[in-house]
Structure 1
Amino acid sequence: MTLTLTRDERGGLTHGPAPRPPRWPRWVTGWLFVLPAVALFLLMGAYTIANGLLLSFAKWNGFTPEWKWVGLDNYADLLGADPSLAGDLRRAGWNTLQVMVAVPALTVAIALPLAMMLNSITRLRAFLRSVYFLPYVTSGIAVYYAWRYVLEPDGAINLLLGALGLGTLRQPQGFLGNPDTALPTLILVLVWSAVPIATLLYLSGLQAIDRGLVEAAQIDGAAPRHVLRRIIWPLLRPITVAIVLLGVRDALHGFQIFLVMTNGGPGGHTDVLGLMAYRLSFMKGLSPTLGVASALGWLLFAGAVLLTLANARMLRRVE
């Protein structure tokens, strides 16, 4: 400890510790810790978002030094002003709508019974939970390539159907090459990848329900379906809303599975809006379609925001 001479009230010299240097306010220290993350967000997040919004009002091919400002023309083209985009947009929008409805509905229909089964058993619960969760933690691109191999004309599913004597169900073109089965097959793959997290969410909700409520209903003579409908389902409704919202979000913004497995084929039967935005951005060569792709991305973002607001309102009603 450093000692210094200081004068007391009477003017005498006394020994004492050296005065401490002034300390920074706590908020300065906090900002110093947060500053790297804030700077990274401003550079990679805010700048990119603002740049993308400005690009939606321009025509640009990604190579010329200047943009051509067109105002709201890109949005008008997406809403029907450009006949060359209208047909593809309608088809992609219809496919996206089918995915938005089918994936959440099938996910809930499969995940809830699985969660109830896991909740009712005591042995091997941890093992089965890990098995069901495995598809969610597996690398998506690798899984999609594996599914492509399984669904090919000489893939495992066609071979299995032939071995079981169900040759009439085989697809000579492959399940992804037949226009009638391509989109339903991709929907099933999406459901397969969405069920694990939905099952765990439902399982956590079931374990949080007071067993006394269920036992009281059973003592009063309520059938299992009445217990599910009158007690369990209303208590799990907020989780169901969250699962549906996640499925709808993936349908609006997810395009990796459609790009890797079919690239929108055959004949555009698996084209979705997210994949169309990707194609307009990077697959049109020198055509100035980056602005149209950005406008489509912002329309999808607006749709996701509206769905989020609707979800929040539904949750408030449930509560």
Structure 2
Amino acid sequence: MSAATTVQRPPRERRATRGRTRYHRSEVAWGAAFVAPAIVLFAVMGVYTIGYGVSLSFATWNGFTPNWTWVGLHNYADLLWASPTYAPVVHQAALNTLWVMIAVPILTVLVSFPLALLLNSVGRMRTVLRSVYFLPYVTAGIAVYFAWQYILEPDGAINLLLRSLGLGSLQQPQGFLGNPSTALPTLIVVTVWSSVPVSMLLYLAGLQSVDSTLIEAAQIDGAGWWRITRNVLWPLLKPITGIIVLLNLRDSLQGFQTFLIMTNGGPGNHTNVLGLEAYRLAFLSQLSPTLGLSSALGWLLFIAAVILAVITQRAMRRAT
């Protein structure tokens, strides 16, 4: 018998192998049948929508006519430099967005981290205070923004409070949202107020997961509260800080609900941001057709968000 002769398996073993193979194929078929609706839904609502949006960014369309007009990269050029109508507005919106992207993450960290330290040091009232601080996040956004409008108007609560404290020189007769010099900073404060709850809870979860022996060792070495916070707790919470910064950068770059409801970009485009400008081009522009411009601006925002995510991720890796 040659060495190449194969050993024949018993018939019972061959039948068992074929049975396992059929069973495996049956499992795969049933799994594919259950997953197929989700895949089809994603293909229709996801892939098709994305492709549709990309195609629209290279065309002009008013949303009603059956045909598009293909213009190539002209939409992107008009938004960035070519059009004297759209480019200056986009540049102003980009500058406002940049200010928001710088101020909101920094202020959110500066407010939420001390609040988390305070809540972590509280014993009995921690649950109640945590619920109180988290209330702005779970409250209906539109109702809250209208309440802020009422507070910030010329006869609102803030002007009344300043008047009662003898700080009448700080009042805004046209309201904090009607003054070009105070409108954008005011909206930044409102945005920070709405983003602090989640950031505070993230910091609080991080503080509660810190090994208590590290703090005890620092106390034994004579470190006070400030040095423990700066040299022990803050370095351990750097990954959480990176996540908070990234989330706020994303919301600052793409979010516009606060600006739409409270000012709609006014006064005089002083609070117009890129997300709001894309919305206005799509639904509020009197110049037709601008849906292609809106789609192009949306994809520019997407590219900027991806770049920011990559930069932030690399910065976090270097920090850790």
**TM-score, structure 1 length as denominator?**
0.90
Cα distance, 1:182 vs structure 2: 0.5
Identity in percent: 63
Q: Distance in 2 between matches of 1:140 and 1:37?
A: 31
How many residue pairs get aligned? The number is 300
Query: How much does 1:306 deviate?
Result: 0.9
Structure 1 unaligned runs (5+)?
Answer: 1-18
Structure with greater proportional helix content: 2
Q: CA deviation at 1:97?
A: 0.3
Greater mean deviation of Cα atoms: 43-52 or 179-188: 43-52
The answer to whether the Cα contact below 8 Å between 1:61 and 1:286 also exists between their aligned partners in 2 is no
Deviations 1:208-253 (A, max 9, x none): 1111111111111123222222211111001001101111111111
Query: Could you list the per-position Cα deviations for residues 35-72 of structure 1 after superposition, in whole angstroms to 9, with x for gaps in the alignment?
Result: 33222222222211110000011111111111111111
Partner of 2:266: 265
Letter of the 1:114 partner, please give it.
L
1:251-291, Cα deviation, whole Å (9 max, x unpaired): 11111111100000011110101111111111124612111
Match of 1:132 in 2: 133
Please tell me the root mean square deviation across aligned C-alpha atoms, in Å. 1.7
* Whole-angstrom CA distance in 2 between matches of 1:285 and 1:161: 40
- The CA distance in 1 between the partners of 2:87 and 2:131, in whole Å, is 45
Matching of residue 104 in structure 1 with residue 105 in structure 2? yes
- Taking the aligned partners of 1:298 and 1:108, their CA distance within structure 2 comes to 29
Secondary structure of 2:124's aligned partner: coil
Q: TM-score, normalised by structure 2?
A: 0.90
How far off is 1:158 after superposition? 1.4
> 1:147-166 alignment to 2 at 5 Å?
147-166=148-167
Q: Secondary structure at the match of 2:173?
A: coil
SS in 2 for 1:83: coil
What is the Cα deviation at residue 139 of structure 1? 1.3
1:47-58 alignment, distance < 5 Å: 47-58=48-59
2:272 aligns to what SS in structure 1?
A: coil
Alignment of 1:296 onto 2:297: yes
Q: CA deviation at 1:156?
A: 1.5
Q: After the TM superposition, which residues 73-84 of structure 1 pair with which residues of structure 2 at under 5 Å, given as runs?
A: 73-84=74-85
Counterpart CA distance in 2 for 1:97 and 1:216 is: 42
Question: For residue 274 of structure 1, what is the aligned residue in structure 2?
Answer: 275
- 1:313 Cα deviation from its structure 2 partner: 1.6
What is the aligned partner in structure 2 of residue 195 from structure 1? 196
Matches within 5 A, 1:52-71: 52-71=53-72
CA deviation profile, 1:11-58 (whole Å, cap 9, x unmatched): xxxxxxxx9xx7562232223332332222222222111100000111
Partners of 2:286 and 2:39 in 1: how far apart? 35
Q: Distance in 1 between matches of 2:29 and 2:287?
A: 49
Q: Secondary structure at the match of 2:33?
A: helix
SS in structure 1 at match of 2:316: helix
Kindly indicate whether the alpha-carbon contact (under 8 Å) linking 1:103 and 1:191 is maintained by their aligned counterparts in 2: yes
- Paired with 2:301 and 2:191, the residues of 1 have a C-alpha distance of 19
| Equivalent position SS for 2:300 | helix
Dislocated runs of 4+, deviation >4 Å: none
Deviation at 1:295, TM superposition (A): 0.7
Most deviating of 58-67 and 189-198: 58-67
Matched letter for residue 231 of structure 1: V
Q: Output the CA distance in 1 between the equivalents of 2:180 and 2:319.
A: 41
